[in-house]
Amino acid sequence: MPRTKQFDEKEVLNKAMELFWEKGFHATSMQDLVTQLGINRASLYDTFGDKEALFEAAFQLYRQTNGGVIQGLFETEPSVKEGFQKLFQMAIDESVQDGNRKGCFVVNTITELIPGDEKIQSLLLENTINYEKLFTAFVQKGIQNGEINAIKNPNEIGLMLYALFNGIRVLAKVDPNPEKLKSIMKSGLSVLD
Amino acid sequence: MPRTKQFDEKEVLNKAMELFWEKGFHATSMQDLVTQLGINRASLYDTFGDKEALFEAAFQLYRQTNGGVIQGLFETEPSVKEGFQKLFQMAIDESVQDGNRKGCFVVNTITELIPGDEKIQSLLLENTINYEKLFTAFVQKGIQNGEINAIKNPNEIGLMLYALFNGIRVLAKVDPNPEKLKSIMKSGLSVLD
DNA sequence: TTTGTATTGGAATGAACGTTCTGAAATAGA
DNA sequence: TCTATTTCAGAACGTTCATTCCAATACAAA
């Protein structure tokens, strides 16, 4: 009976993600979204709700996409040291290649929307703890397979590497210099030796 | 001849800094500033110029204050390892004690205003490079006084510690847990051993 | 082809935005 | 005390904000 949608919902959400990722929540206006997404105002509201709901959907899409990549890398990579190196190198490459200097959507959101809305705040906390566990477990795996000295504390090292990962994403926004970022990675990963 | 100012310029700028620091550039309105600063709209514009100029002045005040503290610490602290530990502990304490979860004004500004205005962008780059040099030079000092093994690369380590410093400020915003942050510090500073 | 329902385009809403303006108030020097 | 000059209070400016509304449109089922 009804008229069919003239746009692909996933495609549109992807564009919204890019926009919020680049400009942040407050600096992105609904007008920006209407223009860039190429769909009508009313369709935007009918499909995704208000600005906050759309942002949250876009953020979740980012989490899902990136989280999947990292989890996949950790699961398939037999060497833990190489796994971490690949992960950091991926982040560095992304920063260096991104002409828009978007940085990391998660980091951007943490710094922009805390303090603030409680919903997004708990989402950010949950996300962080997930990543910390992922990092820690991967270090643990390295200890179990003998790659990493069993004296090391996997929790401490996992947390540290995740913090460093975030720090790199901040610095890469100011100065996307591959050599410099590689130095940081090298020195950071030396804690695994 | 003229009527004298009824407010202390430095005091007002300090309040503006707090507000921008907590909410960021875009989420802070001129109305917020007028209300919180307790001075008149016209006085605000006459004294500091427009919103952008006021933000920049507030940001410079933050840089000046914080940069002075760090530089002072590095100059007076005889032990490099202890110096770094004190620095990180200061950042952790600040994060844990700050009920408003403001985080670091520099990190917040990097993630909010890049990409964007070129003026603030080059200011941020200059600031970052300054800090990196400061960190690197302090590691160098540790090598010279025999505290740190001369095999180490001071540039790599300095950059890494500065990246980690920024990462901690991000994570502390999501989860200001002192034990966790201390673990990160401990593991990070182990590169100096 | 007709009918019913969801989508669409675009105008319209009122509030909030950054900024400017005007006139009254206040004070240091003459 | 008078005068010159600046600050101050608050209204007013034109834009932009997020959101809603209303016909007009388009399409699946009858």
So what's the pLDDT on residue A2? Answer: 60
Task: Kindly report which amino acid residue has its CA closest to the C1' atom of nucleotide C4.
Answer: A1
Q: Do A186 and A95 fall into the same domain?
A: yes
- Please indicate, yes or no, whether residues B15 and B100 belong to a single structural domain of this protein: no
Instruction: Give the CA B38 to C1' C26 distance in Å.
Output: 19
Mean pLDDT of A36-58: 94
pLDDT tens-digit readout, A68-106: 999 999 999 999 999 999 999 999 999 999 999 999 999
Q: What is the band of A171 on the pLDDT scale with cuts at 50, 70, 90?
A: very high
User: Could you tell me the two tokens for A7?
Assistant: 């746009």
**Residue-number span of the structural domain to which B1 is assigned:** 1-59
Residues in B touching A102 (Cβ below 8 Å):
115
Could you tell me the CATH number of the domain that includes residue A175?
1.10.357.10
* Domain identity same for A85 and A112: yes
B2 in contact with nucleic chain D (CB within 7 A): yes
Q: What is the pLDDT of residue A151?
A: 97
Task: From first to last of the 193 residues of chain B, give the pLDDT tens digit.
Answer: 566 777 889 999 999 999 999 999 999 999 999 999 989 999 999 999 999 999 999 999 999 999 999 999 999 999 999 999 999 999 999 999 999 999 999 999 999 999 998 999 999 999 999 999 999 999 999 999 999 999 999 999 999 999 999 999 999 999 999 999 999 999 999 999 9
How near does any CA of chain A get to the CA of B79, in Å?
A: 21
- Please report the pLDDT score of residue B7 as a whole number: 84
Q: Cα(A149)–Cα(A142) distance, rounded to whole angstroms?
A: 8
DSSP state of B99: T
B5, B52: one domain: yes
| Residue B95 and residue B54 share a domain | no
B187 touches chain A (CB under 8 A): yes
Looking at the domain assignment, is residue B9 inside a domain? yes
Quote the CA–CA distance of B64 and B162 in Å, as a whole number: 18
What Cα–Cα distance (Å) separates residue A81 from each residue in A84, B119, B188? Answer: 5, 40, 17
Q: In this structure, is residue B66 part of a structural domain?
A: no
| Separation of CA A138 from chain center | 18
> Which of A15, A33, A59 is the endpoint of a domain?
A59
Where residue B3 sits, what CATH number does that domain have? 1.10.10.60
Instruction: Give the residue-averaged pLDDT of A183-187.
Output: 98
A65 domain residue, yes or no: no
B51 with B83, same domain: the answer is no
| Contact present, A159 and A136 (Cβ < 8 Å) | yes
Query: Of B27, B59, B91, at which residue does a domain stop?
Result: B59
**Considering the entire predicted model, what is its pTM?**
0.96
> In which residue are the tokens 């005040």 written?
B61
The residue assigned the tokens 């790599």 is: B156
* Average pLDDT value for chain A: 96
Coil vs helix vs strand at A153? coil
Asked whether B105 and B17 are in contact (CB, 8 A), the reply is yes
A121-126: long-range contacts, CB 8 A cutoff, minimum separation 24: A123/A56, A123/A59, A124/B174, A125/B174, A125/B175
Q: Which residues of B touch A129 (CB under 8 A)?
A: 175
Inter-residue contact A156 to B187 (CB < 8 Å): yes
| Nearest CA among B85, B87, B191, B186 for reference residue B143 | B191
**Using N-to-C axis directions, what is the helix angle for B51-76 and B105-113, rounded to 10°?**
140
Q: Does B91 touch chain A (CB under 8 A)?
A: no
**Whether residues A180 and A116 fall in one domain:** yes
Any A CB within 8 A of B172 CB: no
**Co-location of A110 and A50 in the same domain:** no
Provide the pLDDT confidence category of residue A8 given band limits of 50, 70 and 90: confident
Residues in chain A: 193
Structure tokens at A26: 């407050």
- Looking at the fold, whether A11 and A98 belong to one and the same domain comes out as no
Where residue A11 falls among pLDDT bands split at 50, 70, 90?
very high
- Measured in angstroms, the CA of B4 and the nearest CA of chain A are apart by 38
Query: Quick check: is B86 in a domain?
Result: yes
What is the DSSP code string of B36-86? HH-S-HHHHHHHH-SHHHHHHHHHHHHHHHHHHHHHHHHHH-S-HHHHHHH
Do A114 and A172 belong together in one domain? yes
pLDDT of residue B2: 63
Q: What letters, b where the CB count within 10 A reaches 16 and e where it falls short, cover A112-132?
A: bbbebeeebbebbeebbeebb
Q: Which of A121, A114, A170, A167 is nearest to B99 (CA)?
A: A114
User: 3-class DSSP state for residue A62?
Assistant: helix
The reply to whether A47 and A86 lie within a common domain is: no
The three-class DSSP label of residue B101 is coil
Average pLDDT for residues A55-78, to the nearest whole number? 97
Count of structural domains within chain B: 2
Whether a cis peptide bond, with omega within 30° of 0, leads into B78 is no
pLDDT on residue B53 = 95
On whether residue B17 sits in a domain, the answer given is yes
> What pLDDT is attached to residue B5?
77
- Say how far apart CA A159 and CA A187 lie, in whole Å: 16
B42 & B84 share domain: no
| Distance (Å) from the alpha carbon of A5 to chain B's nearest alpha carbon | 34
Q: Where are the beta strands (DSSP E) in A8-52?
A: none
A66 belongs to a structural domain? no
Measure the CA–CA gap between B185 and B85, rounded to whole angstroms. 8
B65 in a domain, yes or no?
no
Handedness of CA A103, A105, A110, A114 (dihedral sign): positive
Q: Does residue A33 fall inside a structural domain?
A: yes
